Amino acid sequence: MRALHRAVWIQFTRGSGPILTLCTLLLIAWIVKGMAGLEGSFFWNGEEVAIGEGLRSRVAIGFGLRAIAWFGMALLLFRGPTFILAGADRGGTPFDLTAPISRTRFLFGRILGVLSVFAAIWVAALFLQQLFSPSLLSSGGVGLFRVIGGAILLLLGQVLLLALLLLLRLWLGAWGAFAALLAWAASWFLSLDLLEAYLFDVRAPAESMGAWWYPLLEPYLAGEPAGFMASVLRGFVRLFPPIANVQSVGIDWALGREVFPDADRLAVPGAVIWSALFLGFADRIFKRKDL
């Protein structure tokens, strides 16, 4: 198991992974720093929301964590299944499977390896966030418990995407990976609060969304649910597919703020259930596959 885990790290470090990760984290930090210095603000629900400095710098920090989540997802899309089924086409995985290990153990050993790589990225990102948040948030840093909880949820979103990618790769081959890309895009699309505002009328009416940048910031703004049925419907949407939503909860946790919208909480058990199902099916297909 340790060998499988280590193999993923070797693959990651021998490729362009560390340099790409470092450059991306630095770029995101630079953008967040720039945003934190912005003095712009806008009104929402009668409340003034600042983009940058001070108490209301949640937009800047929220963007940082979300950007890292996007980066992680992109890394998974392009490299995730390759990390797990390394060189499957060239005989790498089949050769590894001639060792005295079961296919299930191989699959989950490699998945743990990939997750440890992403956990390391999140630890670095959240460490930076903890380091800078006292100067950005006048209320000070966020409790360690919430940061760790947020990190676990952010990782859960990646587990779900990885499980989906694996299942489709094993089931449908390269076209499966393409389908996963579409699923992921659809996930982000469905998770947009803006879309929900139109679908369920829980957010601002369209006429108040004048500025071009407003939709970009809108997911970070406060709002009130329109009613019980709207909450139920939104909860349903957020259960499928909950990749983006569970990460939104993770970001809210890591930043020490209330989970918004509240219906996102439903995405957490949803992500666990979907991940278990996808991984279970992927394992089942992998065990029966002739290599």
Which residues of the chain form contacts with another protein (CB under 8 A)?
2-4, 6-7, 10-11, 14-15, 86-87, 90-92, 94-102, 105, 288, 290-291
- Choose between 7 and 119: whose C-beta lies nearer to another protein: 7
In which element (H, E) is residue 30 found? helix 17-36
Place of tokens 């890394």: 75
The nearer residue to another protein, 37 or 87, going by C-beta atoms, is 87
Query: Residue 38 and residue 264: Cα distance in Å, rounded?
Result: 29
Residue 94 CB, shortest distance to another protein, in Å, is 5
Smallest separation, CB 155 to another protein (Å): 25
Of 89 and 224, CB closest to another protein? 89
Judged by CB, which is closer to another protein: 92, or 215? 92
Q: How many CB atoms lie within 10 A of CB 49?
A: 17
Rounded least distance, CB 98 to another protein, Å: 4
Question: Phi and psi at residue 42, in whole multiples of 5°?
Answer: -145, 165
Question: What's the closest the beta carbon of residue 71 comes to another protein, in angstroms?
Answer: 22
Question: What's the min distance (Å) between Cβ of 46 and another protein?
Answer: 57
- Spatial separation of the C-alpha atoms in residues 243 and 271, rounded to whole Å: 7
CA angle 29, 34, 40 (to 5 degrees): 135
The one-character DSSP state at 173 is T
Query: Rounded to an integer, what distance in angstroms lies between the CA atom of residue 52 and that of residue 38?
Result: 5
Closer to another protein by Cβ: residue 15 or 269: 15
